[in-house]
Amino acid sequence: MSERYYTDMNSFKLASPSSTITKRIARKLAQFLQAPLTLALDGDLGAGKTTFVTGLVSGFKNGEKIRVQSPTFALARSYPTQPPLHHIDLYRISDAVMLDDLGIESLLFDPSAIVCVEWPSLYPGALPPKTLWISIQSKAKNKREIEFNFDASLFDWTSILKKLI
Ligand SMILES: Nc1ncnc2c1ncn2[C@@H]1O[C@H](COP(=O)(O)OP(=O)(O)OP(=O)(O)O)[C@@H](O)[C@H]1O
Ligand SMILES: [Mg+2]
């Protein structure tokens, strides 16, 4: 968190009691998203980042039948939704040079796509400025706190996020 700098930071928190609710929140969010946009998904192993992306994909046109798989080993997966969605995992990237070498940078800056990034805090400087930060924290076996952070000088998500409850 400390590496990030916001001029006008806003924060919004939601509680999720189950993976189904996390997917539902993400699915609802999808209808408000327009490319280009980055969603930076912070959270420990097993927090629910990929679960969130699963819900998101299902909320886009052509996404209902898509099965989202973790990009941890493939590093990145792209889905033919409308808008297209790139799902990137930075967990196994060992240095920033690799982002360019592996073609990840071109996915991050694809102007026509929604880009979801797991483990974004490993390379926060690599992300575009138009990023919605989403932090998922485990509170109990199935309970999660989903915190959204965004630069309100770029866009104000508050009214949209309130509709996800
Ligand atoms: N409220 C909840 N929200 C999201 N996932 C939940 C919740 N409760 C339980 N889970 C479970 O937690 C697990 C989350 O796994 P997921 O692969 O989404 O995590 P991840 O954050 O992507 O982990 P990794 O860093 O290993 O990629 C799933 O098994 C999911 O069913
Ligand atoms: Mg994951």
Beta carbon of 137 within 6 Å of any ligand 1 atom: no
Q: Which of 25, 44, 50, 117 to mutate to test the pocket of ligand 1 (most atoms within 8 A of CB)?
A: 50
* Domains of the chain: residue spans and CATH: 30-162 (3.40.50.300)
| pLDDT tens readout for residues 88-123 | 999 999 888 889 889 999 999 999 999 999 999 999
* Residues 6+ away with beta carbon under 8 Å from 105: 99, 126
| pLDDT tens readout for residues 48-60 | 999 999 999 999 9
Q: Note the pLDDT of residue 103.
A: 92
Give the residue ranges of the chain where pLDDT is below 70: 1-7
Q: Residue 83: is the preceding peptide bond cis (ω within 30°)?
A: yes
Using CA atoms, how far apart are residues 107 and 87, in angstroms rounded to an integer? 9
Tell me the residues surrounding ligand 2 (ion) with CB < 5 Å. Answer: 49-50, 70
Q: Give, in order, the Cα–Cα distances in Å from 49 to each of 22, 28, 103, 136.
A: 9, 16, 22, 7
Using CA atoms, how far apart are residues 150 and 155, in angstroms rounded to an integer? 8
